[in-house]
Amino acid sequence: MRPRPTNIAALIIPVILAAAYPALPDYQKALMSRVLILSIYSYGYAVCFQMIGVMSLGHAALFAAGMYGAGFYAFYVSPDPFPALSVGVASSVLLSMLLGVLAMRVGGHYLMIGTLLASQTLYLAALHFNDITGGEQGLVLRGEATIVRALKPLLSELDARYVASLLALTVAVVGITLLTSSRLGRLLLAVRDDEEKLESLGYNTSLLKLLAFSISGALSGASGSLIALLYGYVGAGYAGVLNSVEPVLWVLVGGPYVEFGPFLGCLLVNLLADAARALLRGHVLVVGAGLVAFALATGRLRWAYQLMARWRSRAA
Amino acid sequence: MNRRQALSSLLKTGIVAVGAAGLGAVTGYMAGSSFGGQSPQGRELGVKPIKIGFQVHRTGIGAPYGFWYERVANAAVSYINRTGGISGRPVELIAEDDETSPAKGAQVVERLVLAHNVDFILGALFSDVVLASGPRAGELKRPYFAVSEGTHVPFGKLNRWCFQPGITDVPGQVTAVAKWIFENLGNRVAMIYPDYAFGHDHRDALTKAAERYGARIVEKIPIPPGETSFTKYFTRIPRDVDVLYHVMVGDVLTFIRELGVYLGRERPELFGFIDSIEAVPLSAPGLEYLEGTYFWEAFPRYADGYDTPFARFYREAVGVDESGADKSDPSRVSAFSHMFGVWETLFAIKEVVEQSGYSEPTRSDYEVFIKTLESMDWFNEGLWHPQGDKLFNGRLHQSFGHQFISLVKNGRLVVVHRTEIEDSVYEHPNDYTKQPLF
Amino acid sequence: MQPRPLLSLQSVSKSFDGVQALAEVSLELSDTGILGVIGPNGAGKSTLAGVIVGSLRPDSGRIFFLGREITGLPMRKRARLGIANTHQIPRAFPSLTVYENLELAVLHRADTDPRRQILETAELLGLQPVLQLKPSQLSHGQIRLVEISMALLSQPRLLVMDEPTQGLTGLEVNTLTEALKSLGEKISIIVIDHRVDFVASLSPRIAVMHRGRILALGSPRDSWVAEKIEEVYLRGGA
């Protein structure tokens, strides 16, 4: 079938980001690199929330699994950032599959609480095994373990970070576009719409959810790995509640179109939070909650209501 | 310092943290705006100010400390600007909230350097924020001054651009007080500590000190983070120990109450770190059991504990009364044993800028600045260093200083001993001066 | 030797919170033909559909399909064996277009030409004009036809339809009746409806249900079947 117009629109994101780069002041270049990486996490969350309608409250578990996977490899095994990235993504995919299988055994809607428990477990484990993890204080990676150092012969640190972030985001956006316009994407939407009906057509919806959850894990883990490998730090704080709440805000603010909403939401919340830091001394959550309140008031969150209502009726 | 360390004081002071649950509190700490420190004379003279970026825990779990850190920073900058600035230039303090978050902390460093082009960064208290920020400062080539007590600076986890001249670190503190504990309270010790990096720093330092002084740590009792009841761990305290060493295990009021119920009057000597009750009034219900027990303090909360003209001047400048509370609100107890580090760090920067002739954020000026700082070996006690003189180790980028041991008596802290600087010195192979600067 | 029945229910019971929805129901279906199931509200018709398609698990009794026991088999596996169904309140996927909905029903059969099949089925049920629309843009009756098309496209051996005429216009009912009659020559169909006239026009074989039991099974022209019909509808089945 013809791809929807929203699919195509999303592909403009990387083009605009590349074109705008030279015009940005230095700080905004640095800020945007961070936002681009976090947007990948936002997409990861959206695959779970918007595509299969599962609201996860502990997605930081998947983010942190990627971050620790990549960070441990770079810290303990070899300071080569590129295999570390694969290890990071593999760790979060493994964790998401494990959680997915466990949740399925007890019922699909337990994913919500499952990720929450997993993120708390990960957080506490990171604290307990601090000889390995650095605990709540974290680990600082050597310069050679970062992607920035790997690209340094070619680019300045600022540019290297942006280029790497933009490349990663482009892969994510193209991937999401392919996914939503594929048969698998339509099946995932069907899972979200009416799991039982799809089951009665002979599809294994548990497997589809597991697949979507793993894709979500891969994206979230890629984001976590890249944060570790671009900024040279891993810490238990990233498994904390705050890091689970933020993607919910981004996705809610970004709106119902899964192809570009997660990016827009992440961008908007982070830019406003940054402005607020200077002007209002605000907290990112205040800014995000304000945006969500605004969206609620103007009726722009009806789609999210509906997603959650479906989820509730299924859980009941 | 670390994330959980402030938990108990947070709960006690009734400031409900932003952090977890959702809506962050815009706490509205308006004590001094971003540009509050700018001297009017400086503007009139058209002299370019020295910009000091300040990464401050205004929100998040570190906010109760951040409040005091910011007040002290503003007081110090205002004093510096009233007395001729740094190298005759006014100081402009640019403070930004890091939300006590490593991710946001690193972002604040980027902002301070790339958007504000600050000359120096006055860094954070919580170790995770410091560890995430240090690499960014190193990459952006901006000197970063932690006021954290963490081992990250001296143990070489950061880089040549990171320093901690204004406050001593946990191993230094523990090493110094351990000697006094073993000599005065006894040498069979049980320790109870939080089961994360901060607690492990204590465990490792005390174990090392015990080896050095021939004492014995007979039982090590780690408490998992988030624990709300402690009695089941107390059963592991051997009956025949001389000393129970405790630090920051969680909700201090519950901990002390349960400890009182469990041990009763037949207790070993108790020695604790002030971190557990930092910013908590000793009159808080349940703390009566602490009467007759000992605490480490970095800088005595009660004015008579270390009554020097410099300490009096400092106390007045930061608006803290004789018993360590806010002059305008006596129910708000200060973070007295930590916040002086902000004051002393700012004066360390002033001293090194003036000695090195630093003027612009350029390669050559930074090179001279850092080499000058690394060659410093002493900060004299005075208005600039009211807590006492400090030995500075240029290889470790870390200061070593005096520590205080106080007895809880009649519901106040009474200093019984001040350690010598040598007591806190330890060996570490780290040498930042071998790292390339650029 | 008796030919093996397509579907066989043996003493199947199911109750909800103590209310007996199915009581010891036994039933056999052959490979083709239409069975009409009638009865007033609460007679257990939808529960019967549920235990056959697998959305409900019976409390006791056994169910066989193609000679194989399927009592504990999940819905999707029964679907793959060839049991399709439509619901009392029609269900289509609101996020997908009609075409995409139909595509889902057919795509998991690799050996077919999906596009041709979809267009043929759409033509049969008059859905060509709305193929690119989403269910929210359709009438209730059209959504029902979408669901029926999906069931047909899955090429079932047994089609279980719960109240298929609800919300359909007279014209749509006629189209559907014709389509089902010709389909009934190829596969087995269970049509559950409370409209006796519709069911009677469709099928020579009718099961009359009341309070979880099949009271009568036979042609509506049989006097004893007609009697039961009259009994459950007019006198509340006393």
Per run of 10 residues, the mean pLDDT along chain B (length 438 residues) is 46 34 28 37 67 94 93 98 96 93 92 96 93 95 96 95 97 95 96 91 94 94 89 93 90 91 93 92 91 96 97 97 95 95 98 96 97 96 97 97 97 96 93 95
Q: Can you give the pLDDT at residue C235?
A: 63
Question: B126 to chain A: nearest residue by CA?
Answer: A137
C85 chain-A contacts, CB cut-off 8 A: 200
Q: Residue A305, exposed/middle/buried by CB under 10 A (0-12, 13-18, 19+)? A: exposed
The two three-digit tokens of residue C95, written as one number: 């996020």
Q: Can you give the pLDDT at residue B40?
A: 45
Question: B35 to chain A: nearest residue by CA?
Answer: A278
Superfamily of domain B4-168+337-400: Response regulator (3.40.50.2300)
The two three-digit tokens of residue B433, written as one number: 């001066």
Q: Where are the domains of chain B?
A: 4-168+337-400, 170-305+401-424
Give the span between the Cα atoms of B12 and C38, in whole angstroms: 70
Q: Do chains A and C touch (3 or more CB pairs under 8 A)?
A: yes
**Per-residue confidence band for A278, with pLDDT thresholds at 50, 70 and 90:** low
Q: Can you give the pLDDT at residue B13?
A: 37
A195, A313 in Cβ contact below 8 A? no
Taking alpha carbons only, the member of B397, B358, B404 closest to residue B374 is B397
Among the partner-chain residues C77, C94, C99, the one whose CB lies closest to the CB of A1 is C99
Give the span between the Cα atoms of A38 and A165, in whole angstroms: 9
In a domain, C65, yes or no: yes
Phi, psi of A64 (to 5 degrees): -70, -35
Q: Can you give the pLDDT at residue C47?
A: 94
C154 chain-A contacts, CB cut-off 8 A: 201-202
When mean pLDDT is compared across A227-231, C80-84, C116-120, C233-237, the lowest value belongs to C233-237
Q: Can you give the pLDDT at residue C112?
A: 65
Q: How many CB atoms lie within 10 A of CB B45?
A: 13
Taking alpha carbons only, the member of B70, B75, B69, B58 closest to residue B15 is B58
Q: Could you tell me the sign of the dihedral formed by the alpha carbons of B254, B259, B264, B265, in that order?
A: negative
DSSP H or E segment with residue C63: strand C60-65
What DSSP letter does each residue of B277-302 carry, written as one string? GTTS-TTSTTGGGGTT-EEEESS-SS
C177, C199 in Cβ contact below 8 A? no
Among the partner-chain residues A27, A137, A281, the one whose CB lies closest to the CB of B131 is A137
Among the partner-chain residues A186, A197, A205, the one whose CB lies closest to the CB of C91 is A197
A27 chain-B contacts, CB cut-off 8 A: 110-111, 114-115
Question: B204 to chain A: nearest residue by CA?
Answer: A131
Select from B101, B126, B158, B207 the residue whose CB has the most chain A CBs within 10 Å, as the one to mutate to test that interface.
B101
Question: C83 to chain A: nearest residue by CA?
Answer: A200
Average pLDDT, chain B: 89
Q: Can you give the pLDDT at residue A315?
A: 45
A289 chain-B contacts, CB cut-off 8 A: 22-23
Quick check: C221 pLDDT over 70?
yes
Q: Can you give the pLDDT at residue A281?
A: 56
Give the span between the Cα atoms of A274 and A284, in whole angstroms: 8
The CATH number assigned to the domain holding C15 equals 3.40.50.300
ipTM metric? 0.90
**Per-residue confidence band for A312, with pLDDT thresholds at 50, 70 and 90:** low
Quick check: C210 pLDDT over 60?
yes
Average pLDDT, chain C: 89
Give the span between the Cα atoms of B425 and B422, in whole angstroms: 5
Q: Tell me the nearest-neighbour CA distance from B258 into chain A, angstroms.
A: 24
What DSSP letter does each residue of B34-92 carry, written as one string? TTTT--HHHHHHTPPPEEEEEEE--SSTTHHHHHHHHHHHHHHHHHHHHTTTBTTB-EE
Whether C79 sits inside 8 A of A199 (CB atoms) is: yes
Is the pLDDT higher at B41 or at A31?
Answer: A31
Total tally of structural domains belonging to chain C: 1
Q: Tell the residue number behind the tokens 């809506």, with chain if given.
A: B23
Q: Can you give the pLDDT at residue A273?
A: 83
C44, C22 in Cβ contact below 8 A? yes
Taking alpha carbons only, the member of A281, A286, A288 closest to residue A267 is A288
Cβ–Cβ contact A275 with B under 8 A? no
Strand pairing report for C158-162 and C83-86: parallel
Reduced to 3 DSSP states, what percent helix, strand and coil does chain B have, rounded to the nearest 5?
Answer: 40, 20, 40
- Three-state secondary structure call for residue B191: strand
- Three-state secondary structure call for residue A45: helix
Q: Tell me the nearest-neighbour CA distance from B4 into chain A, angstroms.
A: 9
**Amino acid at site B160:** R
Q: What is the pLDDT of residues B247-270, one digit of tens each?
A: 987 788 999 999 999 999 889 999
Cβ–Cβ contact A279 with B under 8 A? no
Whether C79 sits inside 8 A of A1 (CB atoms) is: no
Q: Can you give the pLDDT at residue B25?
A: 29
When mean pLDDT is compared across A175-184, B36-45, B345-354, C124-133, the lowest value belongs to B36-45
Q: Where are the domains of chain A?
A: 11-240
Q: Can you give the pLDDT at residue A267?
A: 94
Domain span including residue C210: 1-78+192-238
Q: Could you tell me the sign of the dihedral formed by the alpha carbons of C37, C40, C43, C48, in that order?
A: positive
Give the span between the Cα atoms of A82 and A229, in whole angstroms: 9
Quick check: C37 pLDDT over 90?
yes
Whether A198 sits inside 8 A of C150 (CB atoms) is: no
Q: Tell me the nearest-neighbour CA distance from C49 into chain A, angstroms.
A: 12
Any idea which fold B170-305+401-424 has? Answer: Rossmann fold (3.40.50)
A197 chain-C contacts, CB cut-off 8 A: 87, 91-93
Among the partner-chain residues A183, A192, A203, the one whose CB lies closest to the CB of C95 is A192
CA angle centred on B427, ends B424 and B428, rounded to 5°: 125
Length of chain A equals 316
**Amino acid at site B345:** T
